[in-house]
Amino acid sequence: ITTTDKKSLLLSRLLLSILLLVSTVHRSITLAFSSYPLSTHTMSNNVDNLTGAGDGKFHFAIDRGGTFTDVVCRLPNGQEVVFKLLSEDPQHYADAPTEGIRRLLDQHDTPVTGIDYSRGRPVRTDRIGSIRMGTTVATNALLERQGARMALLTTEGFGDLLEIGNQARPDIFDLSCKTPSLLY
């Protein structure tokens, strides 16, 4: 394989990865606002809770799964609050991570500052110190063979790229080798 062929192969793989990512998680980028919390739990076993330490900002760690979205928030006083809501509830909100942030700010910041975090208004970010987010949505879509239809564009001669892969198999010279099916 020439250097040009290797570059084309890498670019094709990169394009496929981007297409998969964009097509399966594009809905989680939108912003929407609502109410109706599923559950809220305050953690009491955190060392910072005992000392009252905090930096005056809200810090969010969010795990968006296929069914539920978990939001952990360190409040400005150092206390941590855990909040869980449905990952998809289109009648109430379009984006679960944004909704979780909005609800926690509305519950814990509005009484102190008077800032309005009601539905339909942009969330003010000056009180937010950090947002960290992870998701398994794209991985689950691949494993469950669900997701949006897409196309792979390659340069001439690379149409069978996904089927050929990188030839990684236990015995490279075994002509009757059975390869696993493609994820999607």
SS (H, E, C) the chain: CCHHHHHHHHHHHHHHHHHHHHHHHHHHHCCCCCCCCCEEEECCCCHHHHHCCCCCCEEEEEEECCCEEEEEEECCCCCEEEEEEECCECCCECCHHHHHHHHHHHHHCHHHHCCCCCCCCCCCCCCEEEEEEEECHHHHHHHCCCCCCCCCCCCCCCCCHHHHCCCCCCCCCCCCCCCCCCCC
- In which band, very low, low, confident or very high, does the pLDDT at 11 lie, cut at 50, 70 and 90? low
- In which band, very low, low, confident or very high, does the pLDDT at 157 lie, cut at 50, 70 and 90? confident
**Which pLDDT score, from 0 to 100, does residue 136 have?**
81
Higher pLDDT, 41 or 173: 173
The one-letter code for the residue type at 86 is: L
- Count the residues in the chain: 184
- In which band, very low, low, confident or very high, does the pLDDT at 131 lie, cut at 50, 70 and 90? very high
**Which pLDDT score, from 0 to 100, does residue 41 have?**
41
Residue 141 CB: number of other CB atoms within 10 A?
19
At 41-87, the pLDDT tens digits run 444 444 344 344 678 899 999 999 888 999 999 999 989 999 899 99
- In which band, very low, low, confident or very high, does the pLDDT at 103 lie, cut at 50, 70 and 90? very high
Is pTM beyond 0.85 here?
Answer: no
31 pLDDT higher than 50: no
